[in-house]
Structure 1
Amino acid sequence: MKMASGATPLIALNAIALDTETTGLDASKARIVQIGALAIGGGRIQESPMLDLLVDPGIPIPSASSRIHNITNAMVRSSPQFPAAWEKLKEFAAGRILIGHSIGFDLAVLEKETGRASLPWERPRTLCVRLLAQVANPGLADYSLDALASWLGVTVTGRHSALGDAQAAAEIFLALLPKLQERGIRTLAEAERASLRLTSELDKAHQAGWVAPVAAPAAPVFQAIDPYAYRHRIGDMMSAPPIVVRSDATARYVIALMVERRISSVFVSDAGEPGAPIGDYGIVTERDVMRLIAARAEAAFACRVGEIATRPLASIRTQAFAYRAIGRMDRLKIRHLAVRHEDGRLAGIVSARDLLKLRAGVAINLDDRLEAAGSAAEMAAAWATLPTVADGLIAERLDARVISEIVSEELCAVTRRAAILAEAAMAAEGLGAPPCPWTLLVLGSGGRGESLLAADQDNAIVFAEGEPGGPEDRWFAELGRRLADFLDTAGVPYCKGGVMAKNPEFRGSLDLWKSRIADWVRRSRPQDLLNVDIVFDMRPIHGDNAMGYALFEHAYQTGHAEAHFAKLLGANLDQIGNPFTLFGGFQLEDGRLDLKKYGLFPIVATARTLAIRHDVRERSTKARLERLIGLGIGGDQDMAAMLSGHALLLSLLLAQQSRDLHSGIPASNRVEVAKLSKVEQADLKSVLKQLQSASALVKDLMFG
């Protein structure tokens, strides 16, 4: 079980709901007579395991207490004493967050009990549903367990039994999640930080002699990461071209071919040719052949390999990072992965042997769980590992542009999975399959491969045919709505600018999208192009991706043909503003500087505008700038400064966002300048000064 960090979404917490029944209400003197606990995971209460222990307190239970919890001296006479119960609780709670109602009382009693037994005590990470309810609804008159259950529609059974009250606390916690989310509280650290603002409640707990029900967000434990798995792409590691045989080839022929080529697998198709869509192929491995021989002896050699080929192929993109292949092989329990081009054609193969050196390294951390997630909670759990991975990769001094590519890969994966789950839910509810071919696009920084840890939703849907408001459009509108809701619950919030396929402006037929692009290039004012530019960063991630690639090519062709369009895009650079004060210092707000506004935007917009104008059909800012340099557009010094500046800005933002997420501060594009080293501040100042001339540079190079 992976330990939760501050960035872990509340819906993805591995936790236990805990309650104790005691001999009294004075935490300094009370002894435990019952412990109840049950597990929470994947956004729901787990049916097992659970803990329901009677405990011999070693002192008589007052009759007044017995009248409340119905536990008598006779009932606990043969029960284990606290040290034995403590060991069971520790084992049950290991690695989990503790959740309860007025949990500070339970913690105080547990701490005193461990002290009496001379057992070590370490305060666990906790959340109190009483405090969370006050955060979610400050106007309630009563925050007792019964009042909260009534407000949230939770049925309480077994009141004043430890397990019954733990069950109620767990159900209340889960019912609070959407209400907390509405208030912008999604993660463990955000919940801790919000609870700590309730100072009067914390003071009451302290005066009562309780342990603080919540503590400040803890810094994550550093985990070593194998940078190789995050540095190398499958296209660089695969064996290519792929070896393909016809479906009617015999096992004897394939065995001879494997021996001759020293390979452990071959692809199988009716045509026996490489380069076709991935769905045309199956695979036969040496293990398949061995099983065939074991089953059929001599007759196996005449068997046609089409009969034993595994279909459909498990595959991975050429541009995927090695960690994804490792995770996929582990998840599917296979040793070979087909590799496909971006357009879905077979490109090659990667084997466990190719990745063996990575498996011997330290933790890979990111795996393939997103591709198998069955709920928003499971997606959230996988998505939440990103900040910790980013910390490790920053520590390994991996290029920040590569780290942002990894974040983008995960963003595309979680978006694709949300679409698959939304599609399946619609089918299960009788809404049918997609009415026509379609593709899902990720736009903006995700499409460019430059997402950071503050990523929100930027997506669009293109479908083959249908009019606005027609049956096709209505079906995809519902898909877009569910997609957005899945993502928001999983930790990728709604786009504040509305760039989501659930909105009509970012959904439509291929013909409608082409007409939109034609309309954009005819516009006359820069402000008319709000949210238009990010469409030129589109990346197809699900469905008929060929449709998405065709639209990308059409967009660039159309935009390039109209010089006026690129000039309008470039004109937006006039609005950058000045990041410096009159005396040359940084212009800060609450001690922070907006690096997207003053830094990333001018670099990204410069690269995109010039790429459209000069027909450079690349997506990433780095690739665009490098191609422009190769074409002799712009001085090497100016473009090289933008390339290095882009890397610096991404690295500063990634580090800041990771710190903020672990601390319960919503990730943003603003950095705390005082936390930067003097060297970082000087480098940042140099980059931002150069970017003040970005508008002039674009104008000079528009027709260069």
Structure 2
Amino acid sequence: MDVELIEIGDFLAAYHPFDMLPPEALETAVASLQSRYARAGKTIITVGDTVEHLYIVRTGALETRDPAGEVLARAGEGEAAGAAALLRGGEAVNTVTAIEDSLIYALPAETFHTLRQRYKQFAYYFQPLGGARLRTGRAVSNQGHGHGQLNLMSIRLGDMLRRPPVTIEPDATIHAAGACMSREGVSCLLVVEGDRAVGILTDRDLRNRVVAKALPYDTPVSQVMTPDPLHLEADDYLFDAMLIMSRHNIRHLPVLRDGALAGVITNTNLVQTQNTSAVYLVGDIYKRDTAEGMRDALTMVPELILQLVETGASAHNIGHVISTLSDAATVRLMALAEQRLGPPPVPYVWLAAGSQGRHEQTARSDQDNCLLLSDAYDPEKHGEYFKTFTRMVCDGLNICGYVYCPGEVMAMTDQWRQPLKVWKTYFSRWIDQPQPKALMHASVFFDMRPIFGNHALFHELRAYVLKKTQSNGIFLAYLASNALSRQPPLGFFRNLVLIKGGEHDNTLDLKHRGIVPIVDLARVYALDAGADAVNTLDRLETARDKGSVSKDGAADLRDAWDFISTMRLRHQALRIRENKKADNYVSVDNLSNFERDQLKDAFSVVKTMQGALATAYQTGRM
């Protein structure tokens, strides 16, 4: 290759997507280029032309306008024009003009299409902006990801089983059970009737239910076993086991294959993965007797996030794991409060809201919680108990690192510690009179999830709310309008709009300008469909199945949420590694061209779906 072509190759290699081509492909592209010079005002492409080249700007600038004269795009140094026409088979529907004296490289259509066919990263770049391009790009970026690492969603439980399950019958004695466990070298026995597991007996059961209570050795196993144990299937993933064991603070999990017992996954199996400290953190939390002790256990959360990010766990999965730790701290603090105050005088259920309620927490954040009481609640008789109880739990959470909610949306606030009938009144008012403050409350309390207590109280409230919101056109229109208040940071020419000035100058707020708009969209779609899901991806899936959002729209939003959330987590993990506080503000200077393009695609999806929402619910916005 002569000196001039080498220089052109160096120029192209500095710009995306040519920077991702292998050297031989770049050399082929350079050899096919034609150099052209266009003075300012010269038309390069006219409506109706058959476009035969991709035009790459070396110097100067090109502008694309539609037939009505509206500016659609501008291409500067290293950028290209004409791709949309080439993807349509060469038909030009817009005009491209040089707006400055410009040196242009013309890449023949044949070479352009050959590169697209052979190199996915090249094809991705020139796909139309939006969901399809985002999916293609993520597939490209995920190729080879996790090499040499454990992917929590790639290992199936059946592959981790090392031996058949050791079983015993329910009428066997605990003496026989202990002897069997010792002989077989196992820490648990599955209690079976025929080929069905009716219980599980663990070494912890023998310690706590037999030895501690001095039961006679001839006591039947059925009296001390844990009946109807939780279980998973052999085709389920390691992550599923880690999550269920963390949530329920258990150390043994039966695994079935085709309906028959296949084995047991234990915490010993999980430790071999080196990425399952959530199981042990939950167990550690339940052993602590003070909020300060739980705070010490939770100092491992940043390291856990780092492990999960580095092993390729999805943002969806990481949110469930981290939220499970918040749940565990809350439940333990409630148990400690009841130990001090005595049993509650009337039934209640503690509810998490916000990101914890949606199972979407990352780093520890502020509290969003409330208390739902039975209608038997009498403020004069029971008020002091629950005031003290909720104060102890919220104070404990604050010590643990889940700081007080700035808006005081916490169970220790009198307004958010009420009986069922009052909560129904709240929701009726918010739905029937959707003023701005009511919509703000709705965005928090429509994301509630029961943590501990009488779940039936929550389910009654939830059924009441869904009945009032489903297909409620007026309320949904107001909620949709509220969902459009946060726009993604994407400018007219598909440029990223950065924060200017202040502490976060020249950054993107991935949470409030990227993730929250998708959360808001999913909430509207789910309530319209009468879906009781609160997790964002679960809401999109249910809303899609019930027809309140299109299949493509739901898929695009899911991919956008997952990409933005994953980028946010990686940013937070990097800050944690640098001993900095995790935040949501990403500098574009730290992003590759590929990542910037993916962000543009994700934001474009959000913007498109916000426009569709505005039209569907006639909000009068956008």
| TM-score for the superposition, normalised by structure 2 | 0.60
In structure 1, C-alpha distance between the alignment counterparts of 2:288 and 2:151, rounded to whole Å: 25
Quick one: structure 1 residues 489 and 285, their matched pair in 2 at CA, closer, same or farther if it must change by over 3 Å? closer
In structure 2, C-alpha distance between the alignment counterparts of 1:514 and 1:358, rounded to whole Å: 44
In structure 2, C-alpha distance between the alignment counterparts of 1:232 and 1:449, rounded to whole Å: 23
Q: Per-residue displacement from partner, 1:532-559 (whole Å, max 9, x unpaired)?
A: 2222221111122232233223322222
Quick one: structure 1 residues 266 and 671, their matched pair in 2 at CA, closer, same or farther if it must change by over 3 Å? same
1:607 deviates by: 0.8
1:544 and 2:454 matched: yes
Quick one: structure 1 residues 438 and 317, their matched pair in 2 at CA, closer, same or farther if it must change by over 3 Å? farther
> Please, which runs of 5 or more residues in structure 1 have no aligned partner?
1-223, 238-242, 276-280, 290-298, 340-346
1:650 and 2:565 matched: yes
**Which residue does the alignment assign to 1:622?**
537
Equivalent of 1:228 in 133, 152, 157: 152
In structure 2, C-alpha distance between the alignment counterparts of 1:496 and 1:508, rounded to whole Å: 20
Contact 2:243 2:320 in 1 (8 A): no
Contact 2:275 2:308 in 1 (8 A): no
**Which residue does the alignment assign to 1:344?**
none
Code of the aligned partner of 2:486: I
1:316 deviates by: 6.7
**Which residue does the alignment assign to 2:553?**
638
**Which residue does the alignment assign to 1:687?**
602
In structure 2, C-alpha distance between the alignment counterparts of 1:509 and 1:362, rounded to whole Å: 45
Contact 2:168 2:190 in 1 (8 A): no
Equivalent of 2:593 in 661, 671, 678: 678
Equivalent of 1:491 in 376, 390, 401: 401
1:365 and 2:277 matched: yes
Which residues of 2 match residues 499-578 of structure 1 at below 5 A?
499-560=409-470, 562-577=472-487
Q: Per-residue displacement from partner, 1:271-330 (whole Å, max 9, x unpaired)?
A: x9x99xxxxx975579999xxxxxxxxx98xx6626x7326779779899433666799x
SS at match of 2:384: helix
Q: CA RMSD in A?
A: 4.4
**Which residue does the alignment assign to 2:386?**
476
Contact 2:510 2:586 in 1 (8 A): yes
Contact 2:231 2:253 in 1 (8 A): no
In structure 1, C-alpha distance between the alignment counterparts of 2:385 and 2:607, rounded to whole Å: 46
SS at match of 2:450: strand
Contact 1:440 1:459 in 2 (8 A): yes
1:596 and 2:511 matched: yes
1:695 deviates by: 3.4
Matched positions, count: 432
SS at match of 1:692: helix
Q: Per-residue displacement from partner, 1:420-468 (whole Å, max 9, x unpaired)?
A: 223333x2xxxx4311111111112111111121522111111113568
In structure 1, C-alpha distance between the alignment counterparts of 2:336 and 2:260, rounded to whole Å: 29
Quick one: structure 1 residues 468 and 663, their matched pair in 2 at CA, closer, same or farther if it must change by over 3 Å? farther
In structure 2, C-alpha distance between the alignment counterparts of 1:288 and 1:698, rounded to whole Å: 54
SS at match of 1:508: strand
Code of the aligned partner of 1:460: C
In structure 1, C-alpha distance between the alignment counterparts of 2:247 and 2:370, rounded to whole Å: 27
1:309 and 2:220 matched: no
Quick one: structure 1 residues 322 and 610, their matched pair in 2 at CA, closer, same or farther if it must change by over 3 Å? same
In structure 2, C-alpha distance between the alignment counterparts of 1:684 and 1:548, rounded to whole Å: 38
1:691 deviates by: 1.8
In structure 1, C-alpha distance between the alignment counterparts of 2:456 and 2:262, rounded to whole Å: 24
| TM-score for the superposition, normalised by structure 1 | 0.53
**Which residue does the alignment assign to 2:212?**
none
Equivalent of 1:696 in 587, 599, 611: 611
In structure 2, C-alpha distance between the alignment counterparts of 1:536 and 1:233, rounded to whole Å: 35
In structure 2, C-alpha distance between the alignment counterparts of 1:282 and 1:360, rounded to whole Å: 26
In structure 2, C-alpha distance between the alignment counterparts of 1:598 and 1:327, rounded to whole Å: 32
In structure 1, C-alpha distance between the alignment counterparts of 2:272 and 2:364, rounded to whole Å: 32
SS at match of 2:497: coil
SS at match of 2:530: coil
Code of the aligned partner of 2:241: A
1:232 deviates by: 7.6
Equivalent of 1:465 in 363, 366, 375: 375
Code of the aligned partner of 2:299: A
**Which residue does the alignment assign to 2:241?**
322
**Which residue does the alignment assign to 1:378?**
293
In structure 2, C-alpha distance between the alignment counterparts of 1:316 and 1:403, rounded to whole Å: 22
Quick one: structure 1 residues 264 and 605, their matched pair in 2 at CA, closer, same or farther if it must change by over 3 Å? same
1:265 and 2:190 matched: yes
SS at match of 1:228: coil
Code of the aligned partner of 1:511: K
In structure 2, C-alpha distance between the alignment counterparts of 1:267 and 1:521, rounded to whole Å: 51
Identity %: 24
Q: Per-residue displacement from partner, 1:163-205 (whole Å, max 9, x unpaired)?
A: xxxxxxxxxxxxxxxxxxxxxxxxxxxxxxxxxxxxxxxxxxx
In structure 2, C-alpha distance between the alignment counterparts of 1:687 and 1:229, rounded to whole Å: 23
Contact 1:225 1:393 in 2 (8 A): no
In structure 2, C-alpha distance between the alignment counterparts of 1:574 and 1:422, rounded to whole Å: 41
Contact 1:229 1:358 in 2 (8 A): no
Q: Per-residue displacement from partner, 1:645-673 (whole Å, max 9, x unpaired)?
A: 00011112112223334545443332232
**Which residue does the alignment assign to 2:34?**
none
SS at match of 1:611: helix
Contact 1:454 1:669 in 2 (8 A): no
Which residues of 2 match residues 260-299 of structure 1 at below 5 A?
264-266=189-191, 284=201
In structure 2, C-alpha distance between the alignment counterparts of 1:244 and 1:555, rounded to whole Å: 47
Equivalent of 1:446 in 335, 356, 360: 356
In structure 1, C-alpha distance between the alignment counterparts of 2:484 and 2:247, rounded to whole Å: 46
Equivalent of 1:398 in 270, 289, 313: 313
Contact 1:465 1:472 in 2 (8 A): no
**Which residue does the alignment assign to 1:70?**
none
Q: Per-residue displacement from partner, 1:318-364 (whole Å, max 9, x unpaired)?
A: 899433666799x98x7x4699xxxxxxx999975566643433353
**Which residue does the alignment assign to 1:409?**
324
In structure 2, C-alpha distance between the alignment counterparts of 1:422 and 1:317, rounded to whole Å: 31
Moved more, 359-368 or 316-325: 316-325
SS at match of 1:617: coil
1:684 deviates by: 0.9
SS at match of 1:532: helix
Quick one: structure 1 residues 384 and 552, their matched pair in 2 at CA, closer, same or farther if it must change by over 3 Å? farther
SS at match of 2:484: helix
1:378 deviates by: 2.1
> Please, which runs of 5 or more residues in structure 2 have no aligned partner?
1-147, 162-166, 181-187, 207-215
Quick one: structure 1 residues 338 and 540, their matched pair in 2 at CA, closer, same or farther if it must change by over 3 Å? farther
Contact 1:228 1:358 in 2 (8 A): no
**Which residue does the alignment assign to 1:613?**
528
SS at match of 2:470: helix
